Amino acid sequence: MEGMDGMDTRHETEVVVIGAGQAGLSSAYHLRRSGFASWSGYVVLDAADAPGGAWTHRPPTLTMDKVHGIFDLPGARFGPDGIDGSLPAAQVVPEYFAEYERRLELPVHRPVKVLSVRPAPSDRLLVSTTVGRWAARAVVNATGTWTRPYWPYYPGAEAFRGRQLHSAGYRGPAEFVGRHVVVVGGGTSAIQVLSEAADVAASTLWVTRRPPEFHDHEFTPDVGRAAVARVEERVRAGLPPQSVVGATGLGYTPVVLDALAKGALHRLPMFDRLTADGVVWNDGRSERADVIVWATGFRAALEHLAPLGLRERGGGIRMDGTRVVAEPRLHLVGYGPSASTVGANRAGRSAVREIRRLLDGSRASSAA
């Protein structure tokens, strides 16, 4: 154990990557490729017990034929021998991640939860975790959103006698048999729950704040780029990022077509309050509900960065690409415009390129 700057610091490394989902593993790949040595040069700290990132938590009913396309981790094709569409994504993708970590001998340390990141004296950032501290010259944050489900409050929530759950806790439609189910939210998770609930529930009802925007154009690279550019503009301005579906609209994927065919996509505006046994609108409409599923999305898991004081007045973190403007030693990968599997891959590469330049530059200036 070494002391550094008089602080009780257990480990030193050049770069700490926080999180081992798609974004963290992509960053690790590029760190390794650009010559950082395992452990002394970079380390990946992951709070989970096993590989797979958010994919380990997907409901068993999310089979491979329903996912929108998993993008390969850099340097390793996913399912080169074909993918069995009937297998759960929660099994197949974590196996792929585990094999990737093993084959590349990535220095992933788990379960290690990062509790805080704060500036240390000298040029280091101090990463405190459940198992010790790391002093690093740069940090790649790749903690995703899974650990922070967003659950809005509506009056009467405490009076409701039925069951409420967030889509993060959805494990399949079995518990909806014969029940009246209300699904809240305008994204793909809401539609997946609706299409599955429609097979077994007594009734389903879809409510969203804004009318959902369906489009029938193909999801081409241009459409993707335009959506990413809109989210990028927001984070450059220090605003909270918008969800990717918010930026792209909803395509007619097999899951959407299935839900439409079952008549499960008649949408109502958001209700105004909950009662003991249902939901009510201010215009006098009311509907019975036994179950309310809040498919209301997630927020970025960044609580551990609070000591760095990065939030702008607009509520977001001002970014330039993956770099945090107020703390150039910190990159957010899988955040905002790179919060998709393909985006996370690209962002990992560009974050590492910048970190390499930053560290080489500071070495050159201290040698001069």
- Residues near ligand FAD (CB under 6 A): 18-24, 45-48, 53-54, 58, 67-70, 113-114, 142-144, 146-147, 189, 301, 304, 334, 339-341, 344
Sign of the CA dihedral running 20, 24, 29, 34: negative
Q: What minimum distance in Å lies between the beta carbon of 271 and ligand FAD?
A: 24
Q: What minimum distance in Å lies between the beta carbon of 363 and ligand FAD?
A: 28
Give the residue at shortest CB distance from ligand FAD. Answer: 21
Structure tokens at 53: 């990132």
Q: What minimum distance in Å lies between the beta carbon of 113 and ligand FAD?
A: 4
Q: What minimum distance in Å lies between the beta carbon of 304 and ligand FAD?
A: 5
The total of other beta-carbon atoms located within 10 Å of residue 218's CB is 9
Kindly tell me which of 101 and 290 has the beta carbon lying closer to ligand FAD: 101
Kindly tell me which of 69 and 79 has the beta carbon lying closer to ligand FAD: 69
Kindly tell me which of 204 and 341 has the beta carbon lying closer to ligand FAD: 341
Q: What minimum distance in Å lies between the beta carbon of 71 and ligand FAD?
A: 6
Q: Which helix (H) or strand (E) holds 367?
A: helix 341-367
- What is the rounded distance in angstroms from the CA atom of residue 202 to the CA atom of residue 322? 47
Q: What minimum distance in Å lies between the beta carbon of 69 and ligand FAD?
A: 6
Kindly tell me which of 24 and 212 has the beta carbon lying closer to ligand FAD: 24
Kindly tell me which of 53 and 241 has the beta carbon lying closer to ligand FAD: 53
Instruction: Quote the Cα angle for 120-124-130, to 5°.
Output: 70
Q: What are the beta bridge partners of residue 332?
A: 141
Kindly tell me which of 45 and 289 has the beta carbon lying closer to ligand FAD: 45
**291, 181 Cβ separation under 8 angstroms:** yes
Sign of the CA dihedral running 198, 200, 205, 206: negative
Distances 295 to 169, 193, 305, 316 between C-alpha atoms, Å = 10, 8, 26, 22
